[in-house]
Amino acid sequence: MGLTGCQTAKNTTTATVDHVIDGDTVKVTIGNQTETIRLLLIDTPESVHPTKPVQPFGKEASNYLKEMLPNGTKIELEYDVNKRDKYDRLLAYIWLDGKMINEVLVEKGFARVAYIYKPNTKYEMRLKKVEETAKNKKIGIWSIPNYVTDRGFDSNAEAPSQKSDSSKCARPVIKGNITRGGEKIYHTPASPQYKVTKAEEMFCTEEDAVKAGFRKAG
């Protein structure tokens, strides 16, 4: 599939996805260099922060990005005016098959428009328009009242459906794992790989795991 999203845009480069770190950060290879890409103008809930717990829709945002950008995917990076942040990460809009991935994450309710620092504001109004639609539809992060704030996400806010789901069992024991290739697999305590499996999601029942798109470990 071709990279047609910004053929006429300036200040772009082609890269290969190494792996998705979380919902708004991707590790890529550009030539012989490995770079960390921070998606411009968006913010997704935390899923792998070293000092913060996993926030609602953090894993969903990360998993959705992994599905869109499997390892090895060829992408187009479009830079704004300033190319790097204070952590030396590259700042970019990611394009794939005519779609801006930053915009798709906002559209699906996985990201808010944030970290707007001049002069990197090329698509600010475009993203804000999409955000307003997602907000009105109350999808994703917007489905939880008072969850999205000007400073980030309030983990104390919780949707009623999430509260009832958590009461299904006191200790979910089924481990959901996503491979580097993006395959979703779940392990029960009887699985030979259960102890060494890193759980990215936990489920109360196998039925819950299947509904979430996971298959049983073979």
Long-range contacts of 73-76 (CB under 8 A, 24+ apart): 73/16, 73/17, 74/3, 74/14, 74/15, 74/16, 74/17, 75/3, 75/14, 75/15, 75/16, 75/17, 75/28, 75/101, 76/3, 76/5, 76/6, 76/12, 76/13, 76/14, 76/15
Question: Does the reported pTM lie above 0.85?
Answer: no
Q: CB-hemisphere CA count at 13 Å for 204?
A: 8
Active-site residue, 126 included: no
Reported as a single tens digit per residue, the pLDDT across 27-61 is 999 999 999 999 999 999 988 777 677 889 999 99
Reported as a single tens digit per residue, the pLDDT across 94-106 is 999 999 999 999 9
Active-site residue, 46 included: yes
Catalytic residue of the set 35, 38, 107, 131: 38
DSSP assignment letter at 142:
G
